């Protein structure tokens, strides 16, 4: 999945990590940024790659990390595992 978004010249960094300790929710992705709310999305599959890239673009374009529910790709709206407050 990482390679697909990386090829699209995204306005954010993509980092592969070994584990998010979210085993019961399958493949997972975390979004975070300085001064922004962070999110963990789970139950993902390779058919969601384009939607994940779109969500990443929308997230990167916010000041606070909050992408309104209706502006998230439909395939991901119900996949939020956690919302994490800004740490700084």
10-residue block means of pLDDT along the chain (88 residues)?
Answer: 60 80 89 94 92 93 96 95 92
1: Cβ–Cβ under 8 A, 6 or more apart, which residues?
27, 29, 44, 46, 49, 52
Specify the pTM: 0.84
Strands lying side by side in the sheet with 38-44: 27-31, 38-44, 80-84
**What gap in Å lies between CA 87 and CA 83, rounded to an integer?**
12
């Amino acid at each position: 999945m990482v390679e697909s978004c990386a090829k699209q010249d995204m306005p954010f960094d993509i980092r592969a990590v070994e584990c998010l300790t979210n085993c019961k929710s399958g493949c997972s992705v975390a979004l975070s940024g300085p001064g922004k709310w962070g999110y963990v999305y789970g139950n993902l599959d390779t058919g969601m790659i384009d939607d994940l890239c779109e969500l990443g673009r929308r997230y990167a374009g916010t000041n606070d990390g909050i992408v309104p529910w209706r502006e998230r790709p439909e395939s991901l709206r119900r996949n939020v595992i956690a919302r994490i407050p800004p740490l700084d």
